[in-house]
Amino acid sequence: MTDGFPALALGMEPPERDVMKNPPRDLALGILHRKRWAYMVIEGSIIGLSVFLLFLFALKHFNYREAQTMTFTTLAFAQLVHAFNNRSTRKSIFDLGLFSNIYLVWGVVISILLQILVVQTHWGNLIFKTAKLAPFGWLYIVLFSLIPLIAVEIKKQLRFRILP
């Protein structure tokens, strides 16, 4: 439910301006080659770790149902943030422009609104067994959801700016 719209929007991503300056990829490697699998495992682990750390934090500061809701929402938001990371494996999202793929922006906005409905409405609480969250809960969700963004941006900088 949370990342369906952004996934469709990534298919509408315009090509990078310098795409023709890169050598063609080796067709024998396939789309999901060893390096791509490694990146998927690393980035998935970063998302999983940030969600797990939030859960541990929330258990100490909120009741169990709120901690579950915060964890569920952080996972959803981290995936939405990660959609922006996946626009390019080489370029920073800040170089590409946060709003250059308007379809992705709208897909993320719609997904966020749906998640808010699930968490902040009586019907969403009833159907999905979530708890309404106070503003501080949402603040922690946003902060922990941004960890994967920061980590992947650092990885891009290290991979293509410091290392050849």
pLDDT by residue (tens digit) across 79-104? Answer: 999 888 877 777 788 888 788 888 88
pTM: 0.82
Q: Is residue 66 pLDDT above 80, yes or no?
A: yes
Q: Tell me phi and psi for residue 52, to 5 degrees.
A: -65, -40
Give the per-residue SS3 of 72-141.
HHHHHHHHHHHHHHCCCCCCCHHHHCCCCCHHHHHHHHHHHHHHHHHHHCHHHHHHHCCCCCCHHHHHHH
Interatomic CA distance for residues 56 and 89, integer angstroms:
31
